[in-house]
Amino acid sequence: MTRQKKRRFEENKLRPNLVESGKDFYDEIKGKWHLKVFTDQQPIVLELGCGKGEYTLGLAQAFPNRNHIGVDIKGDRLWVGSGIALREGIQNAAFLRTQIQFLEHFFKKGEIEEIWVTFPDPRPKEKDDKRRLTAPRFLAIYQNLLKPDGWLKFKTDNTELFNYTLELINKNRISVKNLAFTHDLYNSEYVFEHYEIKTKYERKFAALGETIKYLKFQFQ
C-alpha cells in the first residue's frame, strides 16, 4: 500500500459521513441512517459502484430533500467523495464502504426510495454474468430493499450489458412495471433525467462516440 493510500485510509476512519468496517456504528446502521449519519429522516437514494461519488454528490445537490448514499468497496475513491461532501457542506450525502452483495446487512427491507446503478463493470465474460450488477441475484437484493413503487435506474455505455439487462426483463426472469428505456439518453425524451450530472467515465465514453443507455423500472 502506498503512503498516500495509508494516509487516506487513516482520514477515512475519522469521517462521520463514511460508514466502514471498524467504526462503532458499522454493525448498527441498518434502519438507523437518520440517527447515525444524517440529521433528518428523509427518503434514501443509493448509488451503487459510486467510485469517487460524482453522481451521489450531484444528486444530493439536485435533491436536498433526499439523503443520498454512495456505495463502493474502494476506500481511496470514497475518500475523494466524502471529502468533497465535508468541505462543501453537503449534509445529505454519505458513503458506505462494502461490496454490493452485502447491502442487506446495512439497509432494512423497504428502506430505500431509489437505486442508481451507474456505469458498472460490464463483466463481458459469460462466466462472469453472475457478477454483473444487473444479474438476477443482485436485482433480488434491490427489490427487497426498495420501497413499494421505488425506482431502479441504470445508466451504461456498454451495449452488451444493457441488452443483457433488457433481455432478463423481456424473458420475465424479473417482473417489472413502468419500464422505460433508451439507447441514446441525450437524444431522447429522458434527457432531463440525468440532471446535468456526468461522471468521469461518462465523459470519457461519450468522447469516444459511445451513446449512453438508460433504463428505469419499478418491481412488480
Reply yes or no on whether the pLDDT at 83 is more than 80. yes
Per domain, the residue ranges of the chain are 3-219
In whole angstroms, give the CA distance from residue 208 to residue 62: 28
In whole angstroms, give the CA distance from residue 167 to residue 175: 12
Q: Report pLDDT for 170.
A: 86
Tell me the average pLDDT of the chain.
94
Q: Classify 213 as helix, strand or coil.
A: strand
User: Which of these ranges, 110-114, 123-127, 157-161, 204-208, has the smallest mean pLDDT?
Assistant: 204-208
Average pLDDT over residues 123-143: 94
* Cα angle: 75, vertex 127, 106; to 5 degrees: 35
Reply yes or no on whether the pLDDT at 173 is more than 80. no
CA-nearest of 181, 151, 153 to 166 is 181
Look at the domain 3-219 and name its fold. Rossmann fold (3.40.50)
Question: What digits encode the pLDDT tens for the residues 158-171?
Answer: 999 999 999 998 88
Three cell numbers written together for 152: 431502479
Instruction: Please give the model's pTM, rounded to 2 decimal places.
Output: 0.95
Active site amino acids: 121
